[in-house]
Amino acid sequence: MSARWTSWRYISAGVALCLCALAVKCFVDARTFRERFAEWETAKPIDTVVDFSTPGELVAPFRQTCSSSHSEVIALRVPTAAIQGTTVTQLLQGVQARITVLQKGGTNTVESADLDLSWAGDSLDGAFPVFFVAPFRRGDYEARLTVTAGAPALRGVPQQLEGRYLLCGMEAMPAEIAKIGGIGFSVVGALIAAVLLYRVACVPVRSRTSQPCAAPNGGPATPLGNSGVTEGPPSVS
């Protein structure tokens, strides 16, 4: 073992390396969480053409990528010209519809909701909320839209059904927590490494046992009177 390295210094070096590795992982996780949150802001779990003007049924893929959103809506998008001089609520007057989210290839219902026009006056990038569902686990599902009564006012009007996540900002908290953890591990690891390097470079390892000074002729050292001066063995004449 090097004269400047002890087992405790090796342990300290290992701890510093582990903390640095944890810091790197936290920063990578924070970046991943931020990118995922940005994707959720523009994601559309369902995006399909529909027709609310006549009764019928539609089955479309529903890809759930966020299970932690504040809420989840399915909105109707129509051309801007179609709502000039009227509202989406008036266009959908008389519609009765229900959407059901099912396990892909199965019959198990995950979520379902009836048409709700209470928030149809608001828009999400030009789309008007018409269904509200609770968040559920991520995965690939199927959405079944059943229209039992249509709206004649929408006949011939292009219609698009879009799912959107309503995010309140708390969904981005994991990224901030990971970032803070990365900073904390970096600071502690850097401090340990700095102290270790200083001690290795400037403080040599001292022996745990001190050796008494030997007399010039190899005999034991003895004090000389009360002066505190030591003298060697008597000389041989």
Q: Which residues pair with 132 in a beta bridge?
A: 73
Q: What is the per-residue pLDDT for 2?
A: 55
Q: What is the per-residue pLDDT for 203?
A: 67
Q: What is the per-residue pLDDT for 3?
A: 57
Write out the two tokens for 15: 């701890």
Q: What is the per-residue pLDDT for 121?
A: 78
Own/partner pairs, 184-191, CB within 8 angstroms, 24+ separation: 185/19, 185/20, 185/22, 185/23, 185/26, 186/19, 186/20, 186/23, 188/19, 189/15, 189/16, 189/17, 189/18, 189/19, 189/20, 189/22, 189/23, 190/16
Per-residue pLDDT of the chain (237 residues; tens, 9 = 90+): 455 778 888 888 899 999 999 999 999 999 999 999 999 999 999 999 999 999 999 999 999 999 989 889 999 999 999 988 888 889 999 999 999 999 987 778 999 999 998 887 788 888 999 999 999 999 999 999 999 999 999 999 999 999 999 998 888 899 999 999 999 999 999 999 898 888 888 766 554 444 554 545 555 555 545 555 445 555 444
CA pair distance 70, 170, nearest whole angstrom: 8
pTM for this entry: 0.71
Domains, the chain: 42-172 (2.60.120.790)
Q: What is the per-residue pLDDT for 205?
A: 57
Q: What is the per-residue pLDDT for 216?
A: 52
Q: What is the per-residue pLDDT for 44?
A: 95
Lateral strand order in the sheet of 71-77: 47-49, 160-166, 71-77, 128-133
CA pair distance 130, 96, nearest whole angstrom: 11
Q: How far is residue 139 from each of residues 47, 103, 184, measured CA to CA in Å?
A: 16, 9, 34
What's the sign of the alpha-carbon dihedral 199, 200, 203, 209? positive
Write out the two tokens for 126: 């030009």
